[in-house]
């Protein structure tokens, strides 16, 4: 016996969860609950006090808290209920009813369960832990993830250190290079293991180039000096196999090392539910409706795949909310049995979604993906059942920036109508210029 029943439970009150809730409510879903583990809504945006958010969604430049506030006000205006300081600890599927059983806890209610017709996973992502980095030496104080340093500086007003080296060129690390400089610290360099940056080009320009901070591509930290407090790090160049090249070592005296070495979708709950997972993204496999392998369970935002822009998170979540509402209200449409599997190859690492039911897609469908290397002056080629759908010239493609294509339903249906099979295949690949 569950403690309460809801039509839709959204796990996570960050930008994805907020946008999904607003969308679902707008589409007619009424019995909605947002569950957020933090003390307030907004998620990671609350500590992102820099601007650059909202250009796509609101057509103006906002800070992270300002962007979050736009959605929080919509949630409040729509009287959408939410629980704060509440942790979801388990997620299960009831084979009999098809309901999803959420087990959560907080200080006020203790441990309780909720039965929901649909669930939207919007838990976001976390930073890769420093323990995953194979760096010789001690682990003295002064080593932080870039996100932790951002929290200290922006939320608590305290500086982690004054002489800084940053390992990894993810967007948080790039932004913190500028932030630490603003606060009077000296950022000596940003070292990146790969031969390309993991962040947006605009962040490299605005956060490093504008401040004269060197970006050392194909470099990594090979030694850490200091026992109680960090005293310095040794950085070396690496070869094409990412092995340090002897003789290239340079010692940097510093008191702080910030790690910006990637983000991981928060999918422990998804695993408990038995959702089919994608080993490349760390998120779930989803169809054109952003529905996972478990009926009535949707995923969006950074829990699905790590995005480069929060505007894309909100747009994706808007779609998840709309489709979850349609599921609850029985308006999902009729499936004709045709299925398109999306295959990525020759430089394209993954796609979201990975499977499409043409009968249930809208007039157009945006497919997002990332490449696995830096490519210049190449074509992005898309084929359906061996027939070329589109060929897009690309001046530059890099892993730090998401790419996208738009599938047009009329074109898709025209090609699959010529086939007697029900299984079809879209292939997305990088090719030399035609």
- At residue 130, the pLDDT reads 57
Residues of the chain with pLDDT under 50: 132
Distance CA 401, CA 214 (A): 21
User: What's the confidence (pLDDT) of residue 44?
Assistant: 94
> Strands 4-11 and 32-35, how do they pair?
parallel
Q: What is the pLDDT of residue 261?
A: 83
Write out the two tokens for 95. 């084979």
Supply the pTM of this predicted model: 0.93
**Domain ranges across the chain:** 4-126+264-332, 129-261, 341-431
Element (H, E) at 112: strand 110-121
Tokens coding 67: 């962007």
- Does domain 341-431 fall under CATH 1.10.3470? My reply is no
Contacts of 362 (CB under 8 A, 6+ apart): 409
Tokens 């084929």, residue?
Answer: 383
- For the domain covering 129-261, report its CATH number: 3.50.50.60
pLDDT at 415: 92
Concatenate the DSSP letters of all residues of 393-421 into one string: EEEEE-TTS-EEEEEEHHHHHHHHTT-S-
pLDDT at 419: 87
Q: How far apart are CA 35 and CA 9, in angstroms?
A: 7
DSSP element (H, E) containing 105: strand 100-106
Q: Is the dihedral of CA 199, 205, 211, 216 positive or negative?
A: positive
- Which helix (H) or strand (E) element contains residue 268? helix 268-273
Residues 362, 409 contacting (CB under 8 angstroms): yes
Token readout for 432 is 């030399």
**Fold topology of 4-126+264-332:** FAD/NAD(P)-binding domain (3.50.50)
CATH topology agreement for domains 129-261 and 341-431: no
């Amino acid at each position: 016996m569950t403690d309460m029943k809801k039509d839709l439970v959204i796990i996570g009150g960050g930008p994805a969860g907020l946008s999904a809730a607003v969308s679902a409510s707008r589409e007619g879903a009424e019995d909605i609950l947002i569950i957020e583990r933090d003390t307030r809504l907004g998620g990671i945006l609350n500590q992102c006090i820099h601007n650059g958010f909202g250009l796509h969604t609101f057509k103006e430049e906002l800070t992270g808290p300002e962007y979050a506030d736009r959605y929080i006000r919509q949630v409040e205006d729509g009287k959408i209920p939410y629980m704060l300081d509440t942790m979801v600890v388990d997620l299960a599927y009831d084979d009999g009813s098809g309901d999803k059983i959420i087990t959560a806890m907080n200080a006020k209610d203790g441990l309780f369960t909720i039965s929901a017709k649909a669930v939207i996973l919007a838990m976001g992502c976390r930073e890769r832990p420093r323990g995953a980095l194979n760096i010789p030496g001690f682990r003295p104080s002064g080593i932080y993830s870039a996100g932790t340093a951002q929290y200290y500086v922006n939320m608590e007003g305290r500086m982690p250190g004054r002489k800084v080296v940053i390992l990894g060129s993810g967007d948080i690390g790039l932004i913190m290079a500028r932030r630490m400089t603003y606060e009077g610290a000296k950022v000596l360099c940003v070292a990146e293991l790969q031969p390309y940056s993991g962040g947006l080009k605009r962040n490299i320009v605005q956060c490093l180039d504008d401040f004269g901070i060197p970006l050392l591509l194909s470099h990594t930290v090979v030694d850490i000096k200091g026992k109680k407090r960090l005293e310095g790090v040794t950085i070396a160049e690496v070869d094409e196999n990412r092995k340090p090249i002897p003789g290239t070592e340079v010692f940097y005296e510093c008191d702080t090392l910030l790690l910006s070495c990637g983000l991981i979708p928060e999918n422990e709950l998804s695993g408990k539910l038995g959702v089919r997972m994608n080993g490349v993204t760390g998120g779930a496999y989803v169809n054109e409706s952003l529905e996972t392998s478990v009926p009535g369970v949707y995923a969006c935002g950074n829990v699905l795949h790590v995005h480069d822009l929060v505007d894309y998170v909100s747009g994706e979540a808007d779609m998840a909310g709309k489709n979850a509402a349609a599921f609850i209200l029985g308006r999902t449409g009729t499936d004709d049995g045709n299925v398109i599997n999306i295959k990525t190859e020759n430089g394209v690492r993954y796609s979201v979604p990975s499977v499409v039911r043409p009968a249930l897609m809208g007039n157009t469908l945006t497919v997002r993906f990332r490449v696995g290397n830096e490519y210049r002056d190449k074509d992005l080629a898309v084929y359906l059942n061996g027939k070329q759908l589109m060929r897009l010239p690309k001046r530059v493609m890099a892993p730090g920036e998401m790419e996208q294509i738009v599938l047009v339903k009329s074109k898709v249906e025209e090609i699959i109508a010529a086939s007697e099979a029900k299984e079809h295949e879209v292939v997305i690949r990088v090719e030399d210029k035609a």
